Amino acid sequence: MVAIHPSKQDVSDKLFARAVELIPGGVNSPVRAFKSVGGAPRFIRSASGATMTDADGRTYIDYVGSWGPMILGHADEEVVEALRDALARGTSYGAPTELEIEMAEEITSAVPSVEMVRMVNSGTEATMSALRLARAVTGGTRVVKFEGCYHGHEDSMLVRAGSGVATLGLPDSPGVPASLARETTTVPFNDARALQKVFDESGEIAAVIIEPVVGNMGCVPPQAGYLQRVREITREHGALLIFDEVMTGFRLARGGAQELFNVAPDITTLGKIIGGGLPVGAYGASREIMNTVAPAGQMYQAGTLSGNPLAMTAGLVTLKRLRDKTVYERLERSTARLCEGMTEAAREAGVETVTNRVGSMWTSFFTSEPVTNWTEATKSDRALYAKFFHLMLDEGVYLAPSQFEAGFVGLAHTDELIDRTIEAAGKSFRSLKL
């Protein structure tokens, strides 16, 4: 049973007050600051299995899982043990190791479209490098992304679509040159015609980058046949297709979304799970494409800590455990149990929600309409989500502090914890109606 203490958060509040004086917004990544749900963030002291404990000693069932990596659960015994061994051998060499070959073998055997892979230190670095690679290979400049998809914070990806079918990129952040943002065209997700139109109207597109199952507008699956159409359109026009599987890689299946939907991209980006909770990213493709990367080829990309032995160690333990196919069956079962329970609890309380789920990725949107793209996602009632989020937090359940983020179930989420979550959701949904 998870302890519930819906009391004050004195220590977290004090830490937050200290943090905002020294760190922009008090956090090292914006979404952690609770801006979209209000209130001050919980500072975490420790985590174990499917739970996290904050600085005030309160324990939560965690559905954020460090935003995806913690598929085995926190402080997994085997990961911790392997890291302890690795630590004693040194933390970074700046020279190649056998661990990096093992990691490359693990990734290439799981993801058939990837024959060679380069390790980097974050998902952002992976997508940034993948875009450079696509431009280097095709000689094109323009890239197409999808409204609501997130690919890290590199300049050319920080663009938002306005209204209309295809909107030329406008910078989403000060500091992003408009000239660069204009190289990015944004179209709605799940709309193959809009993508076709972009290709009809402009040549020289180097790449189309997509989250094959979107996690970064909340969980939004591709409609039947959509990814196949995206594949056909890009192939017809000689643009490279990049699947950003930083979130979905090893999450939805061992071979990621491309295995689940049976569509092979030209370039794949990975991150999150493959580092087992340590900073990591990777991009991979066919031998032909990857041999463009220095020092095999001319496209420059480097990293002082890339392929770091600790990250490789934690990642390898994680990926080896995910060789067992039943892992994904178990995740499917427990996440279905959670989502069915939450949906039923909302219905009983008379709260309108739509829950999207693919495997162990899920989001309950506070809306009555299906959510298949960004425009539809933004119709959900964010104020209601914020209330629900805080009610759940008081019940000892840590959901994503934003309506537009996916939740994650890991192997440490037992049926008992899931049933506790459903019970907490029932209470919270009923409170929303009071």
Ligand X SMILES: *Cc1c(COP(=O)(O)O)cnc(C)c1O
**Residues with catalytic annotation?**
150, 244, 272
Which residue, judged by CB position, is nearest to ligand X in the bound state? 123
246 forms part of the interface with ligand X (CB under 6 A): yes
| Choice from 247, 289, 339, 391 touching ligand X (CB under 6 A) | 247
284 forms part of the interface with ligand X (CB under 6 A): no
Stretch that binds ligand X, among 99-107, 116-124, 140-148, 354-362 (CB under 6 A): 116-124
| 3-class SS of residue 386 | helix
Least separation, in Å, of the C-beta of 228 and ligand X?
20
Least separation, in Å, of the C-beta of 380 and ligand X?
20
CB 76 within 8 A of CB 86: no
Stretch that binds ligand X, among 33-41, 136-144, 150-158, 304-312 (CB under 6 A): 150-158
CB 151 within 8 A of CB 192: no
363 forms part of the interface with ligand X (CB under 6 A): no
Stretch that binds ligand X, among 149-157, 165-173, 180-188, 420-428 (CB under 6 A): 149-157
274 forms part of the interface with ligand X (CB under 6 A): no
215 forms part of the interface with ligand X (CB under 6 A): yes
| Choice from 118, 142, 145, 151 touching ligand X (CB under 6 A) | 151
Number of residues that bind ligand X (CB under 6 A): 15
**Partners of residue 186 on adjacent β-strands:** 145, 167
Would you call 88 exposed, middle or buried from its count of C-beta atoms within 10 A (0-12, 13-18, 19+)?
Answer: exposed
CB within 8 A of 235, min separation 6: which ones? 241
| Choice from 26, 65, 69, 123 touching ligand X (CB under 6 A) | 123
| HEC string for 193-216 | HHHHHHHHHCCCEEEEEECCCECE
277 forms part of the interface with ligand X (CB under 6 A): no
145 forms part of the interface with ligand X (CB under 6 A): no
124 forms part of the interface with ligand X (CB under 6 A): yes
Q: How many whole angstroms separate alpha carbon 193 and alpha carbon 387? A: 38
Q: Which two tokens stand for residue 228?
A: 């196949």
Q: Which of 426, 419, 416 is nearest to 391 (CA)?
A: 426
127 forms part of the interface with ligand X (CB under 6 A): yes
Residue 348: half-sphere exposure toward Cβ, Cα within 13 Å: 15
186 forms part of the interface with ligand X (CB under 6 A): no
Q: Indicate the residue among 388 and 408 with the shorter CB distance to ligand X.
A: 408
Stretch that binds ligand X, among 18-26, 51-59, 118-126, 357-365 (CB under 6 A): 118-126
Least separation, in Å, of the C-beta of 298 and ligand X?
25
CB 314 within 8 A of CB 277: yes
Q: How many whole angstroms separate alpha carbon 90 and alpha carbon 22? A: 31
Q: Which two tokens stand for residue 389?
A: 């989020």
Angstrom distances, CA of residue 42 to CA of 15, 18, 27, 58, 422: 9, 13, 11, 9, 22
Residues 287-346 that bind ligand X (CB under 6 A): none
Beta strands per DSSP E along 245-301: 267-271, 281-285
| Choice from 54, 100, 147, 244 touching ligand X (CB under 6 A) | 244
Least separation, in Å, of the C-beta of 272 and ligand X?
6
- Residues interacting with ligand X, by CB under 6 A? 122-124, 127, 150-152, 211, 215-216, 244, 246-247, 271, 281
